[in-house]
Structures are given as C-alpha cells and as structure tokens.
A and B are shown apart, each in its own frame.
Chain A
Amino acid sequence: MKIVREALAGTMESSDLMVKIAPAEGELDVVVHSEVIKQFGDQIRKVVNDTLRAMEIRQGLIIIEDKGALDCVIRARLQSAILRAAEGTEIDWGKMR
C-alpha cells in the first residue's frame, strides 16, 4: 500500500496511542515515543515493523505516541491510520491478523 495523504488514528488516553502518518518520498521513517519505551521499546517496534511489513508500507513518515497500549491496540491503531492514509482500500484481512 502507498501512503498518499496525512492521517491520524487513536487518542492520547492512557493505554492508547496516537498514530500520525504523512507521505515521504523514498524513505520509511518510523518514530516511536512511548511512556514505557525502556521496558517495552523492542516489543513495540517489533509490532510496528511487523504491521508495516504485512501492509507493504515501504515509504512514509510514521509517528507513534504510545501511552502504554497493548500490542493488539498498537496494531489496530496503526492499521486504521494506514488505511486512512493509503490509496486503494482493498484490504486482505487475513494478512492483517
């Protein structure tokens, strides 16, 4: 999928996260901010990277402001933001788990 417009998903509530996405030519720039980066930074990045790979996102600016969300929440918010930001809405739900 290709990111063609800016999009937001999520909130700044505790246990949630806010995802911001913007188009960027030729590079994938992923920024993760988290209240629990020290304990769970690696796991959060893994969920984010797996989700991006599953949705075939190869370029764009992805900003994540995590307030201690569970993996499934991170994945869901990221998916929502990507679907809002991408063109072509044929979704292969099987791929997204």
Chain B
Amino acid sequence: MQTRPSIDFRIAEVNGNTQRLDTNRTLLADSGLGMDSDITTFVEAWSGNRLVGCAGLAANVIKCVAVDEQLRGENLSARLLAEVENLALARGHFHLFLCTRPCNRERFQHSGFWPIAQSGNNAVLMENTPSGIQRYCRSLQASRVPGKRIGAIVMNANPFTLGHRHLVEQAAHSCDWLHLFVVREDASFFPFAARLKMVKAGVAHLPNVMVHEGSQYIISRATFPAYFLKETGKVQQAWSEIDLLIFRDYIAPALGITHRFIGSEPFCAITRQYNDTMHQMLAGTVMVVEIPRIKATGTAISASEVRRLLKTHQFSRIREIVPDTTFAHLESHYSAEVA
C-alpha cells in the first residue's frame, strides 16, 4: 500500500489578519486564483509545516479552494470540502454554494456538489444538494398566475424610491401579472425585512403585483458576488451571466415569466453592465424592457442619493424622491428632528 503523507486540518479565522494569509495567497496564486475579500474562514491542510491545501468560506459560499500541485490526485480537495461542510453546518449553514472554474466541475461533482449554472469557461456555480434549485422552482410554481404577459422585476430597494414605484407601475400596467422579487441578501444599508416592508407598502395600490422574498438564487452572494463586492472586470461578467442563466432557465419557466423589467442605470457601472448582459442572455427567451428613470429636481432618482441625504438628515429633500410609505418608515426609524 502506498503511504500517504499525514495531513492536519486546521481552521483559520481571517479576522482582518491579512499577514498570516500570505501563504494562502501564494497557494491560490499557484492555482491561478485570487483571494476574495469576503472570506471569513479558511480550512487549511498542513503537511508538517507546509500549507498544502485551503478552502475559503464566506457565509454559505465556499470558494478559493486550492491544493498544492504535488499533492493532487490524493483526494485532498474532497477531504477539505468535507471539513468545510462540517464547519459550515456547525455555524448553521447547511445549504452551501461553491464557486469554481469549469475545469474543476467534475472533481467537485464527486465530492457532493451539483452544478446549477455555468458561464463559458470562466465560472460554474454548484450547490451541495441535488435538489436545491428544483425544490425552489417547485415552491415558486405555487405562485404561478395564468396570463399572456407575465412580468418580473428584481430590486434591492435600498430604500424604495419614487423611481422604483414608477418602474413597478409601468411594468404592472403593461402586464397581466407582475412578480416582484426583493433581493434577500443582507449586505445593504437597509436590512432585508425593512426593504421588503417598504416595497410591500409602496406597491399595495397595484392589484396585479405579487411581492416575493428573494432567495439564494436571485442576485445573492452566491449567484452574484460582484454586486456586493463591487469588483470589476471578468469575474463580475461571469457572475452576471450565472445569475441571469438561473433566472432564464429556472425561475422564468417556473413562473411563466415573459417579460423582465429594469430601470435604466445612469450611476452604477456594475448595474449598467448587468443590464447589458441581461439583454444578451435573455434574448429570445424573456423580453427585456428597460424603462428610463424618472427625474426629480433635475437628476435621476436613486436610492444611493436617499442614503446620502439620510446621513446628513436632509429629510425635506428625501420627501421629494420617495413615496409617503417609505418616508414614513425613514421618519420613524432614522429621524428625531424632521421639519
């Protein structure tokens, strides 16, 4: 029998301690990988005093998995993943996602991960259950409403502005039914529960709109890390594609969605690129309708402007660009001195 070098597995918290991560960075670089800034914990494989493998965990997303070239073929990546799964479960995450290069797809398929969507040769998103996305689609099917034109909007609504309301109204008027998804990820200034509440209150006057809580499969840290990390370039393009493929191949068919509505994006480069990618990826399957942003006092309304005004307590100006329902929320949560 071949003797295998003994491997110790260790758990390393990042905790801003970037200096000790230099070895991880080198190991990742050898595999052509960069280090993602949202990783909080690494599971490391040590052979004596040498780091020979690592796998990063950011909430319920596994990424930055690398194994020393000399130890490949020893099934070390599978052992690393098992360690990460145990660690994640201990922290309350059972449903895990894994981002990797398509060339590793098969290896991870032998370690309990199932592919969801792949962007060319750049990236593939996998999950640690064979029925995650299918189960989610089945739950969506319960909300299916018959009709000729079924619309969809995905929004973060951070917070819900008059611009968002205009987009929803326009879309709702041109559709038999509109499914409105609120991004679930709690990476924004306003927590998910508050954003959901503001959206629900803001569209309550529209009878053909259904507000859905977003999920891991719609612009989440798993499907679209760039949106939250604000990285640029190829990585972001790949993840836009993955997010849109999931929408096109799973979510739209589950709900019978025929149209997706977006607001034009004059400010954020990432959102603008996402919109462009959407036109390409959904072409021929779901009609993409881009609705120009409405303006107030000269410039297009944006949620980031509201957040800026909130920081400087300019409530009278906020009142001009958000619906009364949102204003009531902001007033009761963020202000003591409203004029």
A39 contacts chain B at the CB level, 8 A cutoff: no
B89 contacts chain A at the CB level, 8 A cutoff: yes
| A29 in contact with B78 (CB, 8 Å) | no
4 shortest interchain CB distances as A-B pairs: A6-B94, A12-B78, A12-B82, A65-B112
Q: What distance in Å separates the Cβ of B79 from its nearest Cβ neighbour in chain A?
A: 6
CA distance A29 to B79 in the complex (A): 25
- Could you mark each residue 63-77 of chain B with 1 if its beta carbon is under 8 Å from any beta carbon of chain A, else 0? 000000000000100
B48-94, CB < 8 A from A: 75, 78-79, 81-82, 85-86, 89, 94
B216 contacts chain A at the CB level, 8 A cutoff: no
| A8 in contact with B81 (CB, 8 Å) | no
Q: Which of A11, A18, A22, A65 sits near B94, CB closer than 8 Å?
A: A22
Chain B residues with CB under 8 A of A22: 94-95, 129
Q: What distance in Å separates the Cβ of A79 from its nearest Cβ neighbour in chain B?
A: 18
A53 contacts chain B at the CB level, 8 A cutoff: no
B314 contacts chain A at the CB level, 8 A cutoff: no
Chain A count of residues within 8 A CB distance of the other chain: 17
Main SS of chain A's interface residues?
A: strand
| B79 in contact with A11 (CB, 8 Å) | yes
| A12 in contact with B94 (CB, 8 Å) | no
Q: Which of B75, B82, B129, B131 sits near A18, CB closer than 8 Å?
A: B82
| A20 in contact with B131 (CB, 8 Å) | no
Main SS of chain B's interface residues?
A: loop
| A61 in contact with B129 (CB, 8 Å) | yes
Q: What distance in Å separates the Cβ of B13 from its nearest Cβ neighbour in chain A?
A: 21
B128 contacts chain A at the CB level, 8 A cutoff: yes
CA distance A11 to B76 in the complex (A): 12
Q: What distance in Å separates the Cβ of B81 from its nearest Cβ neighbour in chain A?
A: 7
A60-79, CB < 8 A from B: 61, 63, 65
Contacts A6-B89, A8-B85 given; does A65 touch B111 at CB 8 Å: yes
Q: Which of A6, A8, A13, A31 sits near B131, CB closer than 8 Å?
A: A31
CA distance A92 to B111 in the complex (A): 32
- Could you mark each residue 1-34 of chain A with 1 if its beta carbon is under 8 Å from any beta carbon of chain B, else 0? 0000011100111100010101000000101010
15 additional contacts (CB under 8 A) given A11-B82, A12-B112, A22-B94: A6-B89, A6-B94, A8-B89, A11-B79, A12-B75, A12-B79, A12-B111, A18-B82, A20-B85, A20-B94, A29-B131, A31-B131, A35-B110, A63-B128, A65-B111
CA distance A14 to B112 in the complex (A): 14
Q: What distance in Å separates the Cβ of B88 from its nearest Cβ neighbour in chain A?
A: 9
CA distance A14 to B74 in the complex (A): 10
Chain A residues with CB under 8 A of B147: none
| A12 in contact with B81 (CB, 8 Å) | yes
Chain B residues with CB under 8 A of A11: 79, 82
Chain A residues with CB under 8 A of B110: 33, 35
- Could you mark each residue 183-199 of chain B with 1 if its beta carbon is under 8 Å from any beta carbon of chain A, else 0? 00000000000000000
| B89 in contact with A63 (CB, 8 Å) | no
B89-148, CB < 8 A from A: 89, 94-95, 110-112, 128-131
Listed by A's residue number, 15 A-B pairs whose Cβ atoms lie within 8 Å are A6-B94, A8-B89, A12-B75, A12-B79, A12-B111, A12-B112, A18-B82, A18-B112, A22-B94, A29-B131, A31-B131, A61-B129, A63-B112, A63-B129, A65-B112
Chain A residues with CB under 8 A of B89: 6-8
| B130 in contact with A31 (CB, 8 Å) | yes
Chain B residues with CB under 8 A of A35: 110
CA distance A29 to B135 in the complex (A): 11
Q: Which of A8, A29, A33 sits near B86, CB closer than 8 Å?
A: A8
Residue on B with the closest CB to A64?
B112
Q: Which of A6, A13, A20, A61 sits near B112, CB closer than 8 Å?
A: A20
Contacts A6-B89, A8-B89, A20-B112 given; does A14 touch B129 at CB 8 Å: no
| A61 in contact with B131 (CB, 8 Å) | yes
